[in-house]
Amino acid sequence: MRNSRVAYPLTWRVMDMLENVCARIWPASLHRLLPYLMLLPAVVLVGLLVLGLFQIGDASLRVLDTSTFLFSEDYSLENYRQAITSGFFAVVASRSLMGSVIVTVITLLFALPYAYLMVRTQSSGLRKFLLVALFLPFFIGQVVRAYGWLIILGNQGMVNEALGLVGVPPVRLLYNYPAVLFGLIQYMLPFAVLMLAPALTAIPEELESAAGSLGANWVRTFRHIVLPLARPGLVGAGLVVMTLSLTDFAIPAILGGGSQDFIANAIYDQFFRTSNQGLGAALSLMLVAVGSIMVGVVFAVFGAGTLAMTGGRK
Amino acid sequence: MNLSNGARESAAAQAAVSVKNVSMRYDDFYAVRDASFDVPKGKFLTILGPSGSGKTTLLRLIAGFGKPTSGEIFIGGQPVSAVPPHKRVIGMVFQKLALFPHMTAAQNVAFPLKMRRHDARTIADQVERYLELVKLGGFGSRRIHEMSGGQQQRVAIARALVFEPDLLLLDEPLAALDVKLREEMQLEFRRIQKELGVTTINVTHDQREAMVVSDEVIVMNDGLIQQRANPVTAYRTPQNAFVANFIGVTNFLEGPATSVSGNEVAFRCAGHELSGISVGSGPEIKAGMSCSGAIRAEQIRVAAAPEKLADLTFRFTGEIIDAIFEGERMVYEVNVAELGGVSFRVFDHDPIGHTQFLPGERVLVGWNPKDMHVFGNNHSPN
Ligand SMILES: Nc1ncnc2c1ncn2[C@@H]1O[C@H](COP(=O)(O)OP(=O)(O)O)[C@@H](O)[C@H]1O
Ligand SMILES: [Mg+2]
């Protein structure tokens, strides 16, 4: 009879050996710890962020003495008071908040048909085109893209030149609120589409056929079947778009030309222009709070389950 | 029988659905080829065919999801190619049911009524009635994923029927159920269909289901309609080798036809002349043509002693290869050396004697010419 050990292929024996080594280093009794160990990197990263938050919290309570350029030793809420009562910050805050809401609504409005077409089209050519068109902007960074818009929309830009050909005098298309919102929407669209596509893919096409055979035209099929079932995707995409645009820096800075600052721009100015880190820190924390409240409200209204975080629905 | 033109037209008007020369092509592939048939009002028709034979395609065309490449479909006498699905009053139960997961059972059933803008009271009453009809009274508030497969099935049926459609389409809705439940639901379909009298087209690959539920059966293969008949006729007198093979368990003998007279053929197999055999209802057979003779597993008898098969015309010796006990019957695989070693499947119901042959035993198999059908091979569809 042949020796059964020799009969094993070499790779099996190597694997056996490795397994033995692993068992010695990491005995079975420790296996329960493995999941927690894998959580560790994420916990450390988030933990570091929280530490930074404490640092900022500390800074936000110290007031800058403009004569000595030193921060006060003792804590006060002066920075917060200034942030809330100053008309300038109120304008910036409401501009960012309203902007993020408008951007979210319009982006979702545009992204939904795009994602729907991409998921449902019969033609693989069209699907590929839509996918490429979706990913292309990702390869062009935000700043480069904003400059692109400067070239296209500027006073000597392509649009104004084209208008000039038909006799329309140059229009100021840049450095205003609509320009910033436009840039943000254009920037957010791919994110929203990418988050909506899987949600729509998860809706079986047969459900729409069924709705049709039961007497629903496409509008009502969309309203009663597609929209409710796409809700997790819509909520997720909406949250991402809203928080990203609320905290965006480059687009308001470049397309707004300094006249259309969002909160992030104001914070940047405090940190790096006026060097009032206390006030900047206070603004930062208030932004975090506003963002968290917004996410919280969305969860409260739509429920965490809408993000498919509970296992009820198949 | 000669119908006058007017009578034929009124017969077509009587038909709830009338499919005329419908073909459906995907690129250069025909999923349905030149299908024509009528379904009379109130009848239960089953389209029976293997997977990929074009059944779903045909059903979806009737429902209005897609236009036929050529041909026309009439519903209630009216051509419908310009009518979108939501304007055709057709109830459809889909292969995967397609129940709306974000609604309760009652909301699912109420959906078609809501789309038709019935008032809330009518909707509630009607939903109640139809849930009752499918024996789901009291289950209305359940979510779809809280129901068993059989219950979901019933919800789908109730939803397809609640708006009292002219036509009910069933696309293999029972395929996913286990055998017991499936057989129960088949009878349930039949009961509901009889109770409401709704014209129904059912699609299945399960020949048993087709037999059990239908008034009429259409057998399909490769996009082509092979035969249309009532279940008994389709079973007893298959039109071609495909139908003979697809419905029931059939054994085939190959050989040339030696003579044809009227409805009887003689054909030769392994040196034996088998005469007096029925001609299958398919295309004409001529002497010399290569043929298949089909004989069903239950029409062959098996015995050890020749006296037991004295009433059978054809008798050949063979050897048991395999014997399978299926409870209500024995299934034998018999190698018939005398016919060139073909292998026969034989069903043996022996409720009194309980005879059981064992593999290796020498036996006789026998059958009668009238139970055998001969089909010309060059006309065979496959
Ligand atoms: N949208 C489609 N595009 C291309 N081929 C299709 C399409 N739908 C069905 N077919 C083909 O048509 C044939 C019949 O399909 P189907 O009607 O689903 O068969 P069945 O329901 O009898 O199993 C299959 O070969 C299938 O691959
Ligand atoms: Mg099918």
Which residue has better confidence, A144 or A3? A144
> According to the model, what pLDDT value does residue B155 have?
96
Q: Is the pLDDT of residue A142 over 90?
A: no
Residues A240, A184 share a domain: yes
Bin B328: left if φ > 0, else alpha if -120 < ψ < 50, else beta.
alpha
B190: in domain: yes
Mean pLDDT over residues B29-46, rounded?
95
Band of residue A253 on the pLDDT scale cut at 50, 70, 90: very high
Band of residue A67 on the pLDDT scale cut at 50, 70, 90: confident
A15: in domain: yes
Residues A259, A132 share a domain: yes
Which pLDDT tens digit goes with each residue over B313-323? 999 999 999 99
Of A207, A209, A213, the CB nearest to B100: A207
Number of domains comprising chain A: 2
- What DSSP string describes B48-82? E--TTSSHHHHHHHHHTSS--SEEEEEETTEE-TT
> According to the model, what pLDDT value does residue A237 have?
94
Neighbours of B23 (CB within 10 A): 17
Domain that holds residue A256: 77-307
pTM of the model: 0.82
Mean pLDDT over residues B223-237, rounded?
93
> According to the model, what pLDDT value does residue A129 have?
95
Q: Which residues surround ligand 2, an ion (CB under 5 A)?
A: B 56
B260: in domain: yes
User: Is-contact B71 B22, C-beta < 8 A?
Assistant: yes
Calpha distance A267→B331 (Å, rounded): 85
> According to the model, what pLDDT value does residue A25 have?
83
Q: Is the pLDDT of residue A192 over 60?
A: yes
Q: Which range among A46-50, A310-314, B72-76 has the greatest average pLDDT?
A: B72-76
- ipTM confidence: 0.81
Band of residue A154 on the pLDDT scale cut at 50, 70, 90: confident
Calpha distance A310→A306 (Å, rounded): 8
Residues B304, B252 share a domain: yes
> According to the model, what pLDDT value does residue B243 have?
92
A72: in domain: no
Residues B182, B303 share a domain: no
Q: Which of B188, B209, B236 is the last residue of a domain?
A: B236
Calpha distance A223→A133 (Å, rounded): 27
> According to the model, what pLDDT value does residue B281 have?
65
B175: in domain: yes
> According to the model, what pLDDT value does residue B174 have?
87
Q: Which of B216, B236, B256 is the last residue of a domain?
A: B236
Residues B129, B247 share a domain: no
**CATH code, domain carrying B249:** 2.40.50.100
Number of domains comprising chain B: 2
A111: in domain: yes
A102: in domain: yes
Q: Which of B203, B218, B236 is the last residue of a domain?
A: B236
Residues B199, B90 share a domain: yes
Domain that holds residue B227: 5-236
> According to the model, what pLDDT value does residue B380 have?
43
Q: Which helix (H) or strand (E) holds A282?
A: helix A277-302
* CA B262 centroid distance within chain: 29
> According to the model, what pLDDT value does residue A4 have?
56
Residues B117, B253 share a domain: no
Residues A22, A82 share a domain: no
Band of residue A311 on the pLDDT scale cut at 50, 70, 90: very low
B115: in domain: yes
- What is chain A's mean pLDDT, rounded? 89
A47: in domain: no
Mean pLDDT over residues A110-128, rounded?
95
B381: in domain: no
Tell whether ligand 1 has an atom less than 6 A from the beta carbon of residue B50.
no
Binary contact (A207, B98; C-beta < 8 A): yes
Residues B316, B358 share a domain: yes
> According to the model, what pLDDT value does residue A312 have?
42
Tell whether ligand 1 has an atom less than 6 A from the beta carbon of residue B378.
no
A55: in domain: no
Any A CB within 8 A of B59 CB: no
Chain A residues inside the 8 Å CB shell of B84 = 212, 217
- Evaluated on CA atoms B203, B204, B205, B206, the torsion sign reads negative
**CATH code, domain carrying B66:** 3.40.50.300
Which residue has better confidence, A263 or A28? A263
Residue of A213, A220, A224 to mutate for B, most B C-beta atoms under 10 A:
A213
Helix (H, G, I), strand (E, B) or coil at A101: helix
Residues B347, B215 share a domain: no
B182: in domain: yes
Calpha distance B340→B314 (Å, rounded): 15
Binary contact (B100, A210; C-beta < 8 A): yes
> According to the model, what pLDDT value does residue A313 have?
41
Residues B219, B311 share a domain: no
Residues B174, B66 share a domain: yes
B382: in domain: no
Residues A233, A162 share a domain: yes
Residues A17, A157 share a domain: no
Residues B223, B143 share a domain: yes
Residue of B nearest to A231 (CA): B102
Please identify among residues 225-254 of chain A the ones whose CB lies closer than 8 Å to any CB of chain B.
225, 228-229
Q: Which two tokens stand for residue A309?
A: 């975080």
A54: in domain: no
Residues A21, A161 share a domain: no
Q: Counting ligands in written order, which one lies closest to the CA of residue B95?
A: 2
Binary contact (B145, A213; C-beta < 8 A): no
Q: Which helix (H) or strand (E) holds B272?
A: strand B272-279
